[in-house]
Chain A
Amino acid sequence: MQDRPTAPELLDAVAGYLFAELRPTVVREQRFPLLVAANLCAVVARELRAGSDPDLADLALFREAAGTPPAEPLVPVVASPEAEADARRAAAELAKLIREGRLDGRLAETVSMLREHVRRKLEVARPGYDV
């Protein structure tokens, strides 16, 4: 365990510095790149705060959409790399089934399930986009 600040708190501090202190001092061409950097810090702070829950929820969703029974109980894990790698693998399998037309019979249902996956990404990357 690290001492406070936590990782998202540190990113909040960096975003605040970039946006409030540095931005007024840089040349015009650097303002947009700097805003991008500040925004990325805010996105990653939200991502860290969300933890592994979105990855696990997506893993379950991809498997359900693909018609794959959940092989093992989905236990929330503390470290996220495993959940993320599992979700990415399941996403690739689902993407392949969709491309091959094997889910054409329930495409509308698949689309509405995937909206939930996209909604979860937006909550981190661009809150409010889906309203």
Chain B
Amino acid sequence: MGAAVTDGPDAALVSAALSAAGEEPGVVRLARIPGGASREVYLAESEAGRWVLRRDPPGAESFTPLAVEHQILGAAAAAGVPVPRPIRFEGQGGSFGSAGFLMEHVAGDSVAPRLLRREEYESARRALPEQLGRALARIHAIDPRSVTDLPMPEGDPAIAACELWESEIDRVGEPLPAVEAGLRWLRLNPPPPPSRQALVHGDFRLGNFIVDDDGLAAVIDWELAHAGDPAEDIGWLTIRSWRFGNDDLPVAGIGALEPFLAAYEAAGGVAPAAERLRWWEAMGNVKWAVICARQAHDHLDGRRVSHELASLGRRICEPEWDLLELVGGG
């Protein structure tokens, strides 16, 4: 909640790390930015500028290590994807207390309801669907083998996704028969394996886009990045939960699919067939349902006590409904 940092990283060490990377920050103040699911995010501010520090919560695990995330940001920037420029990574025991990296601060807004409803973002909304299509095509053009230690599921990515979310359900320990039925259908009806594995962002949706008056300023939150079927990112982007009430606008609650896919193809992407997209949209609903259950249990188990996380236990039924519509609707 932007509160003063007590057991967080040391501001003087962060300032020194910025200096070592060639910045000239002077005296830095740190403020926690709320919202990171499995990372801590801090705004580092001084009279000379603003930077962002992303680090592991001390003692926590993460799906994609921060060293990899830092590396991906560099690769994405080089590929022409709008991202915050990465500045400096330090491992466990470095300047940040736990593993983390500094990046430039990108001005703008990422809060979905504001972006969808406020008049001031009208021209941004017009530009966004095509900007997202282009950005995603550039992400998918990055060779996943060029990223050291990128999570790289073995075999068919569709089957790997089924296995991943089954094991997540088991870890949470909550019976979810509707999700299981959807998952079973997905397992029995996978799309053909993709012609190639791409770098998949893993959480490409409204909320992880920094938007300014001109539209897309940066794609952030790469912590779920992995190698896989590029259609996974498009399916996830379009699940109903990420339309935030604008149910008939699949691209971030802002636009139709066609102009987005046209921009994706114009920038070098290969638009997936409708059936493949539908499969990954259904899988996206599996993923969101299980994440809701997992976050509710993070609260119940005392890992992160929060009524907002607790409330997600009553939202599992939303992606469950959409999942069963997608697999049962024919």
Q: Is the CB of B324 within 8 A of A36?
A: no
**Quick one: which of B175-210 are within 8 Å of A by CB?**
175-178, 180-185, 188
A20 at interface by CB-CB < 8 Å: no
In this complex, what residue of B is CB-closest to A88?
B175
* Known contacts A107-B188, A118-B324; A98 and B181 CB within 8 A of each other: yes
Q: Is the CB of B317 within 8 A of A111?
A: no
Give the shortest distance, in Å, between B29 (CB) and chain A (any CB): 18
* Known contacts A36-B308, A37-B307, A114-B178; A101 and B321 CB within 8 A of each other: no
Q: How large is the interface on B (under 10, 10 to 19, 20 to 34, 35 or more residues)?
A: 20 to 34
Q: Is the CB of A122 within 8 A of B177?
A: no
B213 at interface by CB-CB < 8 Å: no
- B165-181 vs A: 1/0 string, CB under 8 Å? 01000000001111011
* Known contacts A115-B328, A122-B317, A126-B315; A95 and B184 CB within 8 A of each other: no
The one of A30, A65, A95, A122 that contacts B176, using a Cβ cutoff of 8 Å: A95
Q: Which of B166, B175, B316 has the most CB of A within 10 A?
A: B175
A117 at interface by CB-CB < 8 Å: yes
Q: Is the CB of A111 within 8 A of B180?
A: no
Q: Is the CB of A99 within 8 A of B166?
A: yes
A125 at interface by CB-CB < 8 Å: yes
Q: Is the CB of B180 within 8 A of A43?
A: no
B318 at interface by CB-CB < 8 Å: yes
Q: Is the CB of A111 within 8 A of B177?
A: no
- A34-47 vs B: 1/0 string, CB under 8 Å? 00110110010000
Interface size on A, residues (CB 8 A): 38
Q: Is the interface of A mostly helix, strand, loop or mixed?
A: helix
A-chain residues with CB within 8 Å of residue B320 when the two chains form the complex: 118, 121
B94 at interface by CB-CB < 8 Å: no
In this complex, what residue of A is CB-closest to B240?
A129
Q: Which of B176, B188, B311 has the most CB of A within 10 A?
A: B311
Q: A94-B180, A98-B184, A118-B317 are in contact. List 15 more A-B contacts (CB 8 A).
A: A39-B311, A40-B307, A65-B177, A95-B175, A101-B184, A111-B185, A112-B328, A114-B178, A115-B328, A118-B324, A121-B316, A122-B317, A122-B321, A129-B318, A130-B321
